Amino acid sequence: MAKNNIEAREIPLKDSDDYIEEPDGELEEEGQLSVDVYQDGPNIYIKSTIAGVEPEDIDITFDSDMITIRGKREKDKSIRQEDYFYQECYWGGFSRSIILPVDVQEEKIKAELRNGVLTITLPKAKRRDINIKVKDND
């Protein structure tokens, strides 16, 4: 029988920004949103499954070369903890910041939530070649 090769991975420590304060004053760890980031000719796309979150509960901010997605998935409070057989779904606050590899036209960024999948479209900025003249100091 073949043995499974399991590779050890170092898990980075979370800093204090990875926690959100609940209304009752308790700190809750913020989950990291899983994303796909890809491109075609004119656009960069970010896709993520965010089932159970309303569009108005998603906050997307853009700053220079980074986009941040934040939100919160509310847990059904009518289910008692002792009634669970399995509890694998993530409930609570989540976020993800992505550094973009190219400049984008920030005023044309669009976000759409359809069937629990968030799609952010970021039109790439047109690149301009700039000729730099060299001065002769002689």
> What confidence tens digit (pLDDT) does each residue in 11-41 have?
232 333 454 455 555 556 788 899 999 999 9
What pLDDT is attached to residue 25?
55
Specify the pLDDT at position 26: 56
Q: Report which of residues 132 and 70 the model is more confident about.
A: 70
**Span 57-69, average pLDDT:** 93
Q: Provide the pLDDT confidence category of residue 10 given band limits of 50, 70 and 90.
A: very low
| pLDDT over threshold 70, residue 8 | no
**pLDDT tens readout for residues 79-125:** 998 999 998 888 889 999 999 999 999 999 999 999 999 999 999 99
DSSP assignments along 25-67, one per residue: S-EEEPEEPP-EEEE-SSEEEEEEE-TT--GGGEEEEEETTEE
Q: List, in order of start, the domains of the chain with CATH numbers.
A: 27-76+86-123 (2.60.40.790)
What's the pLDDT score for residue 42? Answer: 95
Q: What is the mean pLDDT of residues 58-82?
A: 91
Q: Which of 128, 18, 3, 131 is nearest to 70 (CA)?
A: 18
| pTM (predicted TM-score) | 0.69
Name 28's Cβ contacts closer than 8 Å, sequence gap at least 6: 19, 20, 21, 22, 92, 93
Token pair 């499954």 is found at 49
**Per-residue three-class SS string for 87-122:** CCCCCEEEEEEEECCCCECHHHCEEEEECCEEEEEE
